Chains A and B, each alone.
Chain A
Amino acid sequence: MKHLTAINRKAARMEEVTKDVVALQGPPQQPEPPHIPNGCSLVFSPGWEADRNGGTAGLCQPVERDLFDCHMGCFWPAQVPDQLNHAPDWTAKCAAAQKDWRKIDLIFPDEKK
Chain B
Amino acid sequence: MTLGLREFHPFEAAGRRYLYLVPSAAVFALDDCSEAILAELGRGPQPLAELTQTLAARFDAVEVTDTIAELQRVRALGEMAAKAAPMPKIVPLRPVPLQTLVVNVTNQCNLACTYCYEYGEDKIVDTENGQQPKFMSEETARESVEFALRESRENKHAHITFFGGETLMNFPVLKSTIAYARRRAAEVGKDIDFSLTTNATLLQPDVIEFLANQRVGVTISIDGPEEMQDKFRVFNNGQGSYAMAAPKIKALLQRHRTRPVGARVTLTRQTLDVRRIYQHLSEELGFWEVGFAPVTTAPGRDYAIADQGFDHLLEQFRALAADYLAAALENRHHGFSNVRETLQEIHHGHAKAYPCGAGIGLMGVSTDGRVALCHRFAGSDDHGLGTVKDGVSWERQQAFLDTHHVANKTDCSTCWARPICAGGCYHEANTRYGTTQAPNLHYCEWIRGWTHTCLEIYGELAEKNPAFLSQFDDEPTEKVS
A binds B: yes
Q: How far is the CA of A6 from the CA of B33 in the complex (A)?
A: 16
Q: Is the CB of A22 within 8 A of B73?
A: yes
Q: Is the CB of B67 within 8 A of A8?
A: no
Q: Output the least CB separation between A15 and chain B (Å).
A: 8
Q: Output the least CB separation between B37 and chain A (Å).
A: 9
Q: Output the least CB separation between B191 and chain A (Å).
A: 25
- Give the contact-size bracket for chain A: 10 to 19
A10 cross-chain contacts in B, Cβ below 8 A: 24-27, 348-351
Q: Output the least CB separation between B439 and chain A (Å).
A: 23
Mark each residue of chain A from 1 to 33: 1 if its CB lies under 8 Å from any CB of chain B, else 0. Answer: 111111111110111001001100000000000
B24 cross-chain contacts in A, Cβ below 8 A: 10, 14
Cβ contact of A3, chosen from B21, B27, B67, cutoff 8 A: B67
Given contacts A8-B349, A9-B347, A10-B26, whether A3 and B31 have CB atoms under 8 Å apart is yes
Given contacts A2-B66, A7-B18, whether A18 and B73 have CB atoms under 8 Å apart is yes
Nearest to B76 among chain A residues (CB) is A4
Q: How far is the CA of A73 from the CA of B275 in the complex (A)?
A: 84
Nearest to B68 among chain A residues (CB) is A3
A-B contact count (CB 8 A): 75
Q: Is the CB of B462 within 8 A of A3?
A: no
A5 cross-chain contacts in B, Cβ below 8 A: 28-29, 31
Q: Which of A1, A3, A6, A15 has the most CB of B within 10 A?
A: A3
Q: How far is the CA of A7 from the CA of B33 in the complex (A)?
A: 18
Q: Output the least CB separation between A40 and chain B (Å).
A: 35
Q: How far is the CA of A7 from the CA of B459 in the complex (A)?
A: 8
Cβ contact of A14, chosen from B26, B348, B462, cutoff 8 A: B26
Q: Is the CB of B348 within 8 A of A8?
A: yes
Q: Output the least CB separation between B39 and chain A (Å).
A: 14
Q: How far is the CA of A15 from the CA of B21 in the complex (A)?
A: 13
B349 cross-chain contacts in A, Cβ below 8 A: 8-11, 13
Given contacts A1-B70, A4-B34, whether A11 and B348 have CB atoms under 8 Å apart is no
Q: Is the CB of B27 within 8 A of A11?
A: yes
Q: How far is the CA of A5 from the CA of B33 in the complex (A)?
A: 13
Q: How far is the CA of A61 from the CA of B331 in the complex (A)?
A: 70
Q: Is the CB of A4 within 8 A of B348?
A: no
Q: How far is the CA of A67 from the CA of B33 in the complex (A)?
A: 51
Q: How far is the CA of A4 from the CA of B10 in the complex (A)?
A: 13
A8 cross-chain contacts in B, Cβ below 8 A: 25-27, 346-349, 458, 462
Q: How far is the CA of A1 from the CA of B24 in the complex (A)?
A: 17
10 pairs from A and B in contact (CB 8 Å cutoff): A4-B30, A4-B34, A7-B18, A7-B27, A8-B458, A14-B74, A15-B74, A18-B73, A18-B74, A22-B73
Q: Which residues of A contact B (CB under 8 A)?
A: 1-11, 13-15, 18, 21-22
A13-B349, A22-B73 known, 11 other contacts, Cβ within 8 Å:
A2-B66, A2-B67, A3-B66, A3-B70, A4-B67, A6-B27, A7-B27, A7-B29, A7-B459, A8-B348, A18-B73
